A and B are shown apart, each in its own frame.
Chain A
Protein backbone atom coordinates (compact mmCIF):
# COMPACT_ATOMS: atom_id res chain seq x y z
CA UNK A 1 0.00 0.00 0.00
CA UNK A 2 1.28 3.45 -0.88
CA UNK A 3 1.35 6.06 1.80
CA UNK A 4 3.29 8.30 4.13
CA UNK A 5 4.92 6.95 7.25
CA UNK A 6 5.81 9.18 10.14
CA UNK A 7 7.84 7.92 13.05
CA UNK A 8 7.81 7.81 15.94
CA UNK A 9 4.15 8.40 16.82
CA UNK A 10 5.09 9.85 20.21
CA UNK A 11 8.36 11.54 21.08
CA UNK A 12 9.63 13.07 24.28
CA UNK A 13 12.51 15.49 24.32
CA UNK A 14 14.40 17.22 27.06
CA UNK A 15 14.80 20.95 26.83
CA UNK A 16 17.93 21.95 24.96
CA UNK A 17 18.05 18.81 22.83
CA UNK A 18 17.62 18.52 19.09
CA UNK A 19 15.28 15.84 17.82
CA UNK A 20 14.54 14.53 14.31
CA UNK A 21 11.12 13.44 13.08
CA UNK A 22 11.04 10.97 10.24
CA UNK A 23 8.78 11.18 7.18
CA UNK A 24 8.92 8.60 4.39
CA UNK A 25 6.60 8.27 1.39
CA UNK A 26 6.33 5.63 -1.33
CA UNK A 27 3.82 7.51 -3.44
CA UNK A 28 6.44 8.87 -5.81
CA UNK A 29 5.27 12.39 -5.00
CA UNK A 30 7.60 15.23 -5.78
CA UNK A 31 6.43 17.73 -3.17
CA UNK A 32 6.59 17.21 0.57
CA UNK A 33 5.50 19.42 3.46
CA UNK A 34 5.77 19.73 7.22
CA UNK A 35 2.95 21.24 9.25
CA UNK A 36 2.50 21.87 12.92
CA UNK A 37 -0.83 21.70 14.73
CA UNK A 38 -1.46 23.30 18.10
CA UNK A 39 -4.71 23.01 20.09
CA UNK A 40 -7.41 25.26 18.66
CA UNK A 41 -5.25 26.26 15.73
CA UNK A 42 -5.05 25.23 12.15
CA UNK A 43 -2.13 23.59 10.45
CA UNK A 44 0.78 25.94 10.06
CA UNK A 45 3.42 25.35 7.41
CA UNK A 46 6.98 24.86 8.65
CA UNK A 47 8.94 23.83 5.54
CA UNK A 48 8.21 22.45 2.12
CA UNK A 49 10.17 20.84 -0.68
CA UNK A 50 9.19 20.68 -4.34
CA UNK A 51 12.10 18.56 -5.54
CA UNK A 52 15.10 16.68 -4.19
CA UNK A 53 17.86 18.84 -2.73
CA UNK A 54 15.61 21.89 -2.60
CA UNK A 55 13.39 23.18 0.18
CA UNK A 56 11.76 26.43 1.23
CA UNK A 57 10.77 27.99 4.53
CA UNK A 58 7.13 28.13 5.41
CA UNK A 59 5.37 30.48 7.80
CA UNK A 60 6.98 29.25 11.03
CA UNK A 61 10.42 27.89 10.06
CA UNK A 62 12.39 29.40 12.94
CA UNK A 63 13.92 26.72 15.14
CA UNK A 64 13.44 23.97 12.55
CA UNK A 65 15.59 22.48 9.83
CA UNK A 66 14.97 19.95 7.05
CA UNK A 67 16.79 18.02 4.36
CA UNK A 68 15.64 16.40 1.14
CA UNK A 69 18.41 14.09 -0.01
CA UNK A 70 16.01 11.50 -1.40
CA UNK A 71 12.62 11.85 -3.04
CA UNK A 72 11.07 9.49 -0.51
CA UNK A 73 12.37 11.15 2.64
CA UNK A 74 11.86 14.58 4.24
CA UNK A 75 13.07 14.54 7.87
CA UNK A 76 12.38 17.47 10.17
CA UNK A 77 14.79 18.47 12.94
CA UNK A 78 13.39 20.42 15.85
CA UNK A 79 16.33 22.30 17.29
CA UNK A 80 16.88 23.73 20.74
CA UNK A 81 16.22 27.15 19.22
CA UNK A 82 12.54 26.32 18.82
CA UNK A 83 10.98 28.05 21.83
CA UNK A 84 7.76 26.08 22.05
CA UNK A 85 8.24 22.73 20.31
CA UNK A 86 5.48 20.75 22.04
CA UNK A 87 2.93 20.11 19.27
CA UNK A 88 1.51 17.61 16.81
CA UNK A 89 3.62 17.46 13.64
CA UNK A 90 2.20 16.38 10.31
CA UNK A 91 4.07 15.47 7.16
CA UNK A 92 2.33 15.55 3.79
CA UNK A 93 3.11 14.95 0.16
CA UNK A 94 1.53 16.03 -3.11
CA UNK A 95 1.56 14.72 -6.63
CA UNK A 96 2.41 17.56 -8.98
CA UNK A 97 -0.82 17.18 -10.97
CA UNK A 98 -3.03 17.26 -7.87
CA UNK A 99 -4.13 20.05 -5.57
CA UNK A 100 -4.56 18.09 -2.38
CA UNK A 101 -2.12 16.54 0.00
CA UNK A 102 -1.78 13.06 1.42
CA UNK A 103 -0.94 13.22 5.12
CA UNK A 104 0.95 10.95 7.43
CA UNK A 105 -0.51 9.97 10.79
CA UNK A 106 1.55 12.53 12.69
CA UNK A 107 4.10 12.67 15.50
CA UNK A 108 3.22 14.05 18.91
CA UNK A 109 6.31 15.80 20.32
CA UNK A 110 6.41 16.68 23.99
CA UNK A 111 9.22 18.60 25.66
CA UNK A 112 9.81 17.50 29.24
Chain B
Protein backbone atom coordinates (compact mmCIF):
# COMPACT_ATOMS: atom_id res chain seq x y z
CA UNK B 1 0.00 0.00 0.00
CA UNK B 2 1.80 3.10 -1.26
CA UNK B 3 0.86 5.95 1.00
CA UNK B 4 2.93 8.49 -0.94
CA UNK B 5 2.84 8.36 -4.72
CA UNK B 6 4.77 10.12 -7.40
CA UNK B 7 3.09 8.99 -10.58
CA UNK B 8 5.59 10.49 -13.01
CA UNK B 9 8.86 8.56 -13.00
CA UNK B 10 10.48 11.14 -15.24
CA UNK B 11 10.09 14.71 -16.45
CA UNK B 12 12.06 16.69 -19.04
CA UNK B 13 11.93 20.47 -19.30
CA UNK B 14 13.83 23.12 -21.17
CA UNK B 15 16.27 25.32 -19.28
CA UNK B 16 14.58 28.49 -18.07
CA UNK B 17 11.08 26.98 -18.07
CA UNK B 18 9.05 25.83 -15.10
CA UNK B 19 9.36 22.30 -13.69
CA UNK B 20 6.33 20.96 -11.84
CA UNK B 21 6.70 17.76 -9.86
CA UNK B 22 3.63 16.19 -8.32
CA UNK B 23 2.96 14.02 -5.30
CA UNK B 24 -0.19 12.45 -3.85
CA UNK B 25 -0.72 10.92 -0.45
CA UNK B 26 -3.43 8.84 1.17
CA UNK B 27 -2.80 8.97 4.92
CA UNK B 28 -4.58 11.85 6.69
CA UNK B 29 -2.17 11.52 9.61
CA UNK B 30 0.65 13.09 7.62
CA UNK B 31 1.17 16.60 8.94
CA UNK B 32 4.41 17.72 7.36
CA UNK B 33 5.78 17.30 3.87
CA UNK B 34 9.26 17.55 2.46
CA UNK B 35 11.02 17.40 -0.87
CA UNK B 36 14.44 15.87 -1.23
CA UNK B 37 16.83 15.99 -4.15
CA UNK B 38 19.10 13.06 -4.93
CA UNK B 39 22.04 12.59 -7.27
CA UNK B 40 23.22 9.08 -8.24
CA UNK B 41 25.25 7.25 -5.60
CA UNK B 42 24.61 10.01 -3.04
CA UNK B 43 22.24 10.46 -0.15
CA UNK B 44 19.16 12.67 -0.57
CA UNK B 45 19.49 16.31 0.46
CA UNK B 46 16.68 18.38 1.88
CA UNK B 47 15.20 20.94 -0.48
CA UNK B 48 12.03 22.47 0.91
CA UNK B 49 9.18 21.59 3.25
CA UNK B 50 5.66 22.60 4.19
CA UNK B 51 3.46 22.15 7.20
CA UNK B 52 -0.06 20.82 6.73
CA UNK B 53 -1.46 24.07 8.14
CA UNK B 54 -0.07 26.01 5.17
CA UNK B 55 -0.79 25.86 1.47
CA UNK B 56 2.38 27.39 0.08
CA UNK B 57 6.03 27.74 0.98
CA UNK B 58 8.59 29.50 -1.15
CA UNK B 59 12.39 29.43 -1.06
CA UNK B 60 14.14 31.12 -3.94
CA UNK B 61 13.40 29.28 -7.16
CA UNK B 62 11.54 26.53 -5.31
CA UNK B 63 7.90 26.67 -4.22
CA UNK B 64 5.87 23.88 -2.70
CA UNK B 65 2.07 23.93 -2.85
CA UNK B 66 -0.16 21.81 -0.67
CA UNK B 67 -3.81 21.03 -1.42
CA UNK B 68 -4.89 19.24 1.73
CA UNK B 69 -8.41 18.46 0.58
CA UNK B 70 -7.05 16.75 -2.52
CA UNK B 71 -4.13 15.21 -0.61
CA UNK B 72 -1.82 16.58 -3.25
CA UNK B 73 1.36 18.58 -3.22
CA UNK B 74 3.57 19.91 -5.94
CA UNK B 75 7.04 21.34 -6.27
CA UNK B 76 7.60 24.18 -8.72
CA UNK B 77 11.08 25.11 -9.89
CA UNK B 78 11.33 28.42 -11.72
CA UNK B 79 13.46 28.94 -13.72
CA UNK B 80 14.79 25.43 -14.19
CA UNK B 81 18.54 25.03 -14.55
CA UNK B 82 20.62 22.09 -15.83
CA UNK B 83 22.02 21.64 -12.32
CA UNK B 84 18.53 20.85 -11.12
CA UNK B 85 18.68 17.54 -13.00
CA UNK B 86 18.31 14.89 -10.31
CA UNK B 87 15.76 12.55 -8.74
CA UNK B 88 13.25 14.36 -6.55
CA UNK B 89 11.57 12.50 -3.71
CA UNK B 90 8.43 13.62 -2.00
CA UNK B 91 8.24 12.63 1.68
CA UNK B 92 5.45 12.81 4.24
CA UNK B 93 5.94 12.88 7.99
CA UNK B 94 3.72 11.70 10.80
CA UNK B 95 4.03 11.04 14.50
CA UNK B 96 4.27 7.42 15.47
CA UNK B 97 2.31 5.96 18.34
CA UNK B 98 5.40 6.01 20.55
CA UNK B 99 5.31 9.68 21.57
CA UNK B 100 7.80 11.99 19.85
CA UNK B 101 8.91 9.43 17.28
CA UNK B 102 8.37 10.55 13.71
CA UNK B 103 8.65 8.67 10.47
CA UNK B 104 9.08 9.80 6.90
CA UNK B 105 7.34 7.89 4.11
CA UNK B 106 8.84 8.46 0.69
CA UNK B 107 7.42 8.42 -2.80
CA UNK B 108 9.16 6.54 -5.59
CA UNK B 109 10.83 9.63 -6.99
CA UNK B 110 10.74 11.62 -10.23
CA UNK B 111 13.81 11.94 -12.43
CA UNK B 112 13.97 15.55 -13.59
CA UNK B 113 16.10 16.35 -16.62
CA UNK B 114 16.63 19.98 -17.51
CA UNK B 115 17.76 20.34 -21.09
CA UNK B 116 20.17 23.18 -21.98
Q: Which A residues lie at the B interface, using CB under 8 A?
A: 4, 6, 9, 31, 33, 35, 40-45, 48, 50, 56, 88, 90, 92, 94, 96, 99-106, 108
Contact = CB atoms under 8 A, between A and B. Distances in A.
A42 B42 contact: no
B106 A50 contact: no
A108 B43 contact: no
A69 to B, nearest CB: 19
Contacts, number: 62
30 contacts: A6-B43, A31-B102, A40-B9, A40-B108, A42-B4, A42-B6, A42-B89, A42-B109, A43-B106, A44-B106, A45-B103, A45-B105, A88-B41, A90-B44, A92-B43, A96-B100, A99-B32, A99-B93, A99-B102, A100-B34, A100-B91, A100-B93, A101-B46, A102-B46, A103-B36, A103-B44, A103-B45, A105-B41, A105-B43, A106-B41
A10 to B, nearest CB: 9
Contact of B107 (A4, A42, A90): A42
Contacts of B69: none
Contacts of B109: 42
A108 B42 CA distance: 10
A57 to B, nearest CB: 12
Category for how many chain B residues contact A: 20 to 34
B108 A105 contact: no
A99 B49 contact: yes
A109 B9 CA distance: 24
Nearest to B104: A101
Q: Which 10 A-B pairs have the closest CB atoms?
A: A103-B43, A42-B106, A43-B106, A42-B108, A99-B32, A99-B93, A105-B43, A50-B101, A100-B46, A103-B44
